[in-house]
Amino acid sequence: MGVIEVQAPGLLTTVQDLGREGFGPQGVSPSGAADPVALRVGNRLVGNAEGAAGLEMTLLGGRFVFWDEAVFALTGSDFGATLDGAPISSWGSRQAKPRQTLRAGPTHSGARCYLCVQGGIEVKEFLGSASTHLLSGLGGHEGRALRAGDLLKMGPAKGSFRARRVSGKAWERLAPRKVLRVTPGPQSDWFGESAQKIFYEGTYRVAEESNRMGIRLQGASIPLRAGGEMISEGVTLGAVQVPEGGLPIILFVEQQTTGGYPKIANVISADFHSLGQLRPRDEIRFELVNLTTARGLLVEQDKLLASTDLIVAG
Amino acid sequence: MDTAADESTRFQFAGDQSLLVYFGHQITLEANEKVRRLLRLLELEPVAGVRNLHPAYCSLLIKFDALRMEHDELKAILRRYLKRLDEVKLPEPRRVEIPVCYGSEFGPDLAEVSKLHGMTEKQTIELHASVEYLVYFLGFVPGFAYLGDLPKDLVTPRLASPRKRVPAGSVGVAGNQTGVYPFATPGGWRLLGRTPVKMFRAENDGLSLLSIGDRVRLTPISRERFAALEKTWA
């Protein structure tokens, strides 16, 4: 059993897996990796089951010391990482010797970078998942973001190492998008033609106060058709709700489980990982697709993630 | 939208892996009971591919694995379930008492709410603690129970601008609902008091103190009692 010492946690680093489903009736949202594609690929690179727990770093990475030999991979955005000072590239597996220091800096691309280790990060599971739920202080490592001095346990490693990386073609196909594809939301008919035009033709900017609960957008305000009275109802990841004031909020991994604002659209599942790479001030647009297209894209993405072409030697 | 079982029951797709079932468009006990019946049936006889359930006042959102099933397949299964709602036996409601210390820093809006309704603070407290509430559903954050209905004379609009941080245990009112904040979160409900009871316990996966369908009474307690109880819950 190996140990990783957190020397500097970075801006916001948490333990995440693919989340906990099934606890909506208790008001518990799934949480989980903001970019699940990056986590899944990272796990495959080190030979884990794709849902093993890893570390999610946000905007600015941390400094970690491997006390023991480890096999690891960085995926997601490029945080300019080094191992004992030597630059290392993302999206490939590496081996660390005991006492080597992994350092990740400020992002060079999107919002999040993942550190996956062979054997996974071991924490006490809460409701069947290792994911940290920050708002309620549950799950992950003591229910909170990592701090300097934290010691994390790695699960048993297989003891085998083969240098592997993601194929260039797969990497391109999995690249996060700034044009988010959406299906109509359950209240899309509450928004008139001019409101729809504003939403689909406008460019929105990700606001600073965005977090794992919701991505707040700035841009043209969307007028609501008068008269409708909204009764709170269940909501899920990717719902684009329009509160009073007309600036949309995309519900994110640590979302509330019910909400009382009308939803104009819903980001498609195949683009969820793109949400996880949005940084404050990024500019995004929305593109309407139908359910058949949405499902087709999800099937295609899942096939790619499960395929043997995803990962190559090297 | 399309009809599910009868005129008032409708399906609406919410996303590429979620479907809403609406039982009318009004908050009524009858509609909420249908929500609880369908939830119960889906818990007793789970549908393969369904991943999560989000009950609310008069709707149930069903999240499913889009790689395993399509909306139309789920709808066909649900139509069969909906036909059987009347035969679903709901569990006997649990009766839960929650001690609340009203006013002062625990209930910073007690004075204003009382003033709004032309009552003394004492009358507001008595009225708020006078009825048995139904847990319509849990939502927003883990363990947050939407309790209703408030006595008519206490129906109060939420704050125009929400507080950035409401302390855990705060008891608030909004519209004809009341509820307890399980965690320190932002919130727009008007705060009347606070409970020392932990609404959501993670330690033993014991989860939420309240469940959908429970009946709840709020009992006014003194500051001394609050302090004593807080110790036992710590």
Q: Considering chain A, what percentage of its residues have pLDDT values greater than 70? A: 99
Give me the phi and psi of B194, to 5 degrees please: -145, 145
Model confidence at A229, pLDDT cuts 50, 70, 90, reads confident
Q: Hey, which residues 12-71 in chain B have their CB within 8 Å of chain A?
A: 12-18, 20, 22, 25-27, 39, 43, 51-61, 63, 66-67, 70-71
What does the pLDDT average to over A136-141?
93
Average pLDDT, chain A: 95
Beta-carbon neighbour count of residue B15 at 10 Å? 29
Q: How far apart are CA B37 and CA B19, in angstroms?
A: 17
Residue A118, both tokens: 């062979």
Q: Phi and psi (nearest 5°) for A74?
A: -105, 135
* Closest partner CB to A258 (pick from B54, B182, B185): B54
pLDDT for B234: 66
By the 10 Å C-beta count (0-12 exposed, 13-18 middle, 19+ buried), A285 is classed as: middle
> What is the reported pLDDT for B206?
59
How open is the CA angle A195-A197-A201, to the nearest 5 degrees?
Answer: 130
Beta carbons of B140 and A186 less than 8 Å apart? no
SS3 B89: coil
Å between A165 CA and nearest CA of chain B: 26
B105: amino acid identity, one letter: E
Q: What is the ipTM of this complex?
A: 0.96
Judge if the upstream peptide bond of residue B86 is cis by omega within 30 degrees of 0: no
User: What share of chain B has pLDDT > 70, as a percent?
Assistant: 96
Residue pair A277/B73 in contact (Cβ under 8 Å)? The answer is no
For B68-94, write each residue's pLDDT tens digit: 999 999 999 999 999 999 999 999 999
Domains of chain B: residue spans and CATH:
2-87 (3.30.1360.40), 95-233 (2.40.100.10)
For A6-25, how does the pLDDT look when each residue is reduced to its tens digit (9 = 90+)? 999 999 999 999 999 999 99
Residue B160, pLDDT > 90, answer: no
CB distance A198 to A264 below 8 Å: no
List the single residue in B43, B60, B182 with the smallest CB-CB distance to A234. B60
Report the pLDDT value the prediction gives residue A216, as an integer from 0 to 100: 96
Are the C-beta atoms of residues B78 and B37 closer than 8 Å to each other? Answer: no
pTM (2 d.p.):
0.95
pLDDT of B148 reads 95
From residue A145, alpha-carbon distances to A75, A192, B140 in Å are 19, 42, 22
Q: With 60 as the cut, is the pLDDT of residue A104 above it?
A: yes
pLDDT at A36: 98
Contact status of B11 with chain A (Cβ, < 8 Å): no
Name the band, by pLDDT with cuts 50, 70 and 90, for residue B5. Answer: low
Which pLDDT score is estimated for B205?
56
Enumerate domains of chain A plus CATH numbers.
3-166 (no CATH), 179-306 (2.40.100.10)
pLDDT of residue B112: 97
Q: Is B195 in CB contact (< 8 Å) with chain A?
A: no
